[in-house]
A and B are shown apart, each in its own frame.
Chain A
């Protein structure tokens, strides 16, 4: 079992503190939802967990390694065990297949990449299978050869999800992945989260949709007032929160 853990991390943007003494962990094969109002720092936390942002204090560990105590190349290899999906799909100006295989492509050697460029875009060596499997999970195999520009917003986000799944990360971070989506596309993404968990991937989903957290998560972390005020099993958080702020937030009594 692999664990991604942030311990007592802090971050300030210029002189404004975003959060402090924040601790959270996720292990492979579970879904952890981070809930909290907009602007509370969920995206910043996910950027930190994706190893893109160094904490001002505290530590981030992946599989027991303090990621900011190792050199860049080792951190890159740790980073490659983690996937992330943003609120916006952020697809590349290329075909769906080309987008989905990107993570696999950058993991190959330059000579191998050049060779496959000279042959077909998505050649053999398992890449095509991984692309197809990922697109199957989000129900878009028929779009494989289409250009990313031709997709609807919901489809683009589903491709973005498939792109992060294709290289089979240990941990998948999702930043408000369904906030701009209709109920049908939201349901597809939520099913894909469960599928990812069943494949042994640890999922962290940041959302302000508490119903979504209740539907999909095994554990919930409540991010309020510049720290995580409570983390625990979903049912316990929603049925009997131990922190009064959590209770008020879930009841909609806390206005931000």
Chain B
């Protein structure tokens, strides 16, 4: 995947006159992908087991947990950014980790934003799997883990959709990553916490609409590429 992206980036100055230092575009693409992919991977590892437990088990307060997850899908990202900022600030509970204006803080806020849609959509997919299929796995001698695996396989398209929705939310996020990441580049112009979205916001604010547009196109191409790869993996991984 990196080869075509790199060549596209190298060709950009030929198409548009970009006031970029060498490596600038590639560094913000790297930061965007690094932060979003790690956040979505962590969200997926957290969300799928939660969705399975919620889909299989009955426990007091289940409806409340469901409501919290659904509410989380519409939670304003700037508020999430603020909460993470408070958490990682010097006085916050994670202050000692010195995470303010780092990629790790951005991963935290994207994790919080991506987890509700991944959990909610996975849960809908898992509860949509016929109970007969679960019963079949059990009567054929399956353990609880086997039953869970069968349900995941049957719900795989919904789960892939959930992961893509989470990735879409994470990679297109501006407000919270701006607050917790600070949109910083180093002295040589290489991105430290600047992502495609925060760069677009900055360029547009400075009247560099052409540049902002090019970065926007790169972002859309990235999202399309990730979607294509994830859908392909979802198809192949569980034949």
Contact = CB atoms under 8 A, between A and B. Distances in A.
A52 interface: yes
A90 B139 CA distance: 12
A161 interface: no
B139 A83 contact: yes
A102 interface: yes
A164 B130 CA distance: 19
Interface of B: 130, 132-133, 135-143, 146, 150, 153-154, 239
Which 3 residue pairs across A and B have the least CB separation, nearest first? A90-B132, A84-B139, A80-B141
A83 B142 CA distance: 11
Given A86-B132, A86-B135, A92 B153 contact: yes
B213 to A, nearest CB: 43
13 contacts: A50-B139, A82-B139, A90-B130, A90-B136, A91-B136, A94-B153, A95-B239, A102-B142, A106-B142, A160-B136, A163-B136, A163-B140, A167-B141
Contact of B141 (A88, A93, A103): A103
A107 interface: yes
Given A76-B143, A86-B132, A121-B239, A92 B138 contact: no
Nearest to B132: A90
Interface of A: 50, 52, 76, 79-80, 82-84, 86, 88, 90-95, 98, 102-103, 106-107, 121, 160, 163-164, 167, 173
B150 A92 contact: yes
A163 B138 CA distance: 13
B132 A88 contact: yes
A223 B143 CA distance: 31
Nearest to B157: A93
A171 to B, nearest CB: 11
A98 to B, nearest CB: 8
A67 B142 CA distance: 17
Contacts of B150: 92
B146 A106 contact: yes
A106 B140 contact: yes
A102 B140 contact: yes
Contacts of B141: 76, 79-80, 103, 106-107, 167
B107 to A, nearest CB: 30
B180 to A, nearest CB: 40
Contacts of B153: 92-94
A28 B150 CA distance: 30
A29 B66 CA distance: 50
Q: Which of A50, A83, A88, A93: most chain B Cβ within 10 A?
A: A93
B140 A90 contact: no
Given A80-B141, A83-B140, A103-B141, A93 B154 contact: yes
B146 A86 contact: no
A106 B136 CA distance: 12
Contacts of A52: 135, 138-139
A100 to B, nearest CB: 10
A92 B137 CA distance: 9
Given A76-B143, A92-B150, A102 B137 contact: yes
A90 B143 contact: no
B133 A90 contact: yes
Contacts of A103: 140-141
A94 B239 contact: yes
